[in-house]
Amino acid sequence: MTFKNKLSVGQFDNFSPHPRMDDFLKNINFKNLNGLSEYDIKEAINSACEFFGIPFPVFVQDLSSFKYGRTLFMNIDPTTYEDDILYYNMKELAELNVGSKEAFSIIMTHECAHRVLQSVRFEGPYDGAWQGELAADFLMGFRAGFCNMEHINHVIEGLGKTVGTKTHPKGYLRANFINYGVQLAYHVKSNSIPFSINELITEYHNHYIEMQAYVKRDEKEIYTLLERLNR
């Protein structure tokens, strides 16, 4: 695989420091659900935050007991990390082969990537929702490859089976971008190449251009179907 841009800036040196706020996991007990303790959950999230050099979310909420609970990141102000909230549903994640602490941390890397990218404006329907997801998938794959997280294969397998929606690309596209991130990380690590978040975003964009025809074709297919259903 040939990577078009050499990475030359220190790891994520673009970020301003934010105060850490990590005393928020309350009333959580997953031991009967997937074997993860409160400490495991907190540590998995924190390790994802530390990779990007960002603070622990201001609030973390378990939605596993809610019928329509989802795993997602939410905020109000895209210029700060100080109102970032993470939600997760362990039942939903179990359907995606997320059954270990490492796999959970990999998924939290995806959500933390959304936090890192919250001020980036992507093109496309629904405020560039598909591009935003693929960029977060790419960064998730990069961390997994850089940190030798073997459970990324389980995550790829689980996400690869998902169908496209108006906000999330088809599974094969997600698997493609995750794998690209993994392979780029191997290249960077084996050659001791420093990197920055901006350069990684550039690498993502270059790969998106190569895959753009498939993305746009699938977007059109999904939105055409939704239009028909809404008539």
In a domain, 3, yes or no: no
Apex CA 190: angle with CA 97 and CA 102, to 5°?
Answer: 20
In a domain, 57, yes or no: yes
Q: What is the pLDDT of residue 214?
A: 93
What's the average model confidence in pLDDT over 117-133? Answer: 90
31, exposed or middle or buried, with CB in 10 Å at 0-12, 13-18, 19+? exposed
Apex CA 102: angle with CA 86 and CA 77, to 5°?
Answer: 20
In a domain, 13, yes or no: no
In a domain, 48, yes or no: yes
- What are 64's two structure tokens? 């596993």
Give me the domain span that covers residue 113: 38-229
Q: What is the pLDDT of residue 90?
A: 87
Residue 95, CA distances (Å) to 34, 98, 140, 153, 168 in order:
12, 7, 18, 14, 16
**What total number of domains does the chain contain?**
1
Q: Please count the other Cβ atoms lying within 10 Å of the Cβ belonging to residue 207.
A: 20
In a domain, 14, yes or no: no
List all residues 6 or more positions away from 31 whose beta carbon is below 8 Å from its beta carbon: 37
What's the average model confidence in pLDDT over 89-114? Answer: 90
In a domain, 102, yes or no: yes
In a domain, 31, yes or no: no
Q: Which of 159, 55, 63, 167 is nearest to 115 (CA)?
A: 55
In a domain, 191, yes or no: yes
**Distance (Å, whole) CA 84 – CA 22:** 12
**Distance (Å, whole) CA 204 – CA 206:** 5
What's the average model confidence in pLDDT over 158-164? Answer: 89
Q: Is the confidence at residue 10, as pLDDT, over 70?
A: no
Tell me the CB-side half-sphere exposure of residue 105, using CA atoms within 13 A.
25
Strand, coil or helix: what is 65? coil
**Distance (Å, whole) CA 149 – CA 125:** 33
The answer to which of 8-17, 47-56, 113-122, 206-215 has the lowest mean pLDDT is 8-17
Q: What is the pLDDT of residue 48?
A: 97
What's the average model confidence in pLDDT over 191-202? Answer: 93
Q: What is the pLDDT of residue 84?
A: 95
